[in-house]
Amino acid sequence: MVLTTSAKSFSKDALHHYLEDVASSQPLSSEEEVALAVRIRKGDQEARAKLIEANLRFVITVAYEYQNQGVPLVDLISAGNVGLITAAERFDETRGFKFISYAVWWIRQSILQTLAEHARVVRLPLNRVELLRRISRCRSSRQQETSTRTAEEEIAEELDIPVEQVTDILTSGQRTLSFDTSLGDGENSLLEMMPDNSQESPDAMALRNTLKAEISSALSTLDEREQKVIRLYFGLGGGAEMTLEEIGKQFRLTRERIRQIKEKALRKLRHPTRGRKLMPYAEDT
């Protein structure tokens, strides 16, 4: 049973029964997901239904995160299920990540789109919404730094766009429900929650998250000093890449000694027992 009905025609009792039915669904193993994905690509509708139904409970979990923002829970679940269906039809098991890591992007995007459509706003084209988001974040960031209202000229200079365009976008935004208005949780605004066309695709996001996990797993086989040298040298963990000399200063070791530690660590990582899991990602780059 996949909920795709609006709240107007879906009773509380029916929703209650739906939640009970979904609660009894059993998660799939990675092997089962792969087998189903292969069948789905061949047009097997039964496999498609099984993959979807096994993940309906997760959609409810995500939908609960967006409650009390003007859209009934049943509509949030319905929207999330639409995203889940899209994910099931597009999932590529050869990429090596779990289905839910891929599906969560589609689920959230579908829910966010529903929130945007239900909000009482004069909607802007998506490209203008994206620019409004950039301008608003720029203004907010500068206000936090200087405690003064940022001039439109400064925003235009930072974003490298004409001042007239900044003025036009801000004026358009003021004619809508304020995009900076809190949606109920005291933190998130409609603007922050709108789908962002500039963000990476679900394939890339899931692949990146899986790769991070595999890298961390591989690094855990090194000793503590080797791990830190590799992380600093390659800028893993979000930091900037560092030179051997810079790393040496942190450890109070010579540049040559840091080079030796790095090379030893890389030899370990290249060993088949450690490097096998990372090979598929190296082939994609």
pLDDT 10s digits, 82-131: 999 999 999 988 877 788 888 888 898 898 888 877 764 445 565 666 67
Q: What's the number of domains the chain is made of?
A: 3
Give me the CATH number covering residue 25.
1.20.120.1810
The runs of H, that is alpha helices, within the chain are 12-23, 30-41, 45-53, 56-64, 73-90, 99-118, 126-146, 152-159, 163-174, 190-193, 202-219, 224-234, 244-251, 255-270, 272-275, 279-284
pLDDT at 37 over 90: yes
Give the pTM: 0.48
pLDDT 10s digits, 188-222: 554 444 444 445 555 555 555 655 666 777 788 88
Residues 16 and 100 occupy one common structural domain: yes
Place of tokens 């004069």: 122
Residue 40 confidence (pLDDT): 94
Q: Which helix (H) or strand (E) holds 147?
A: none
Residues 158 and 206 occupy one common structural domain: no
Residues 227 and 139 occupy one common structural domain: no
Kindly report the average pLDDT of the chain as a whole number: 74
182 phi, psi to nearest 5 deg: -65, 145
Residue 187 confidence (pLDDT): 47
Residue 193 confidence (pLDDT): 47
Quote the DSSP letter at residue 122: -
Residue that terminates a domain, selected from 95, 118, 141: 118
Residues 59 and 161 occupy one common structural domain: no
Do 15 and 74 touch, CB atoms closer than 8 A? yes
Q: Which amino acid would we find at residue 177?
A: L
The residue segments making up the domain with residue 227 are 202-284
Residues 186 and 236 occupy one common structural domain: no
Do 165 and 156 touch, CB atoms closer than 8 A? yes
pLDDT 10s digits, 129-162: 667 777 777 776 654 444 444 467 777 877 778 8
Of residues 91 and 20, the one with the higher pLDDT is 91
pLDDT at 226 over 80: yes
Joined together, the tokens standing for residue 42 give 């061949």
CB-neighbour burial class of residue 68 (10 A; exposed 0-12, middle 13-18, buried 19+): exposed
Mean pLDDT calculated for residue range 43-60: 93
Residue 48 confidence (pLDDT): 94
End-to-end CA distance of the chain: 40
Mean pLDDT calculated for residue range 40-55: 93
- Distance (Å, rounded) from C-alpha 179 to C-alpha 194? 9
Q: Is 137 within a domain?
A: yes
pLDDT at 231 over 80: yes
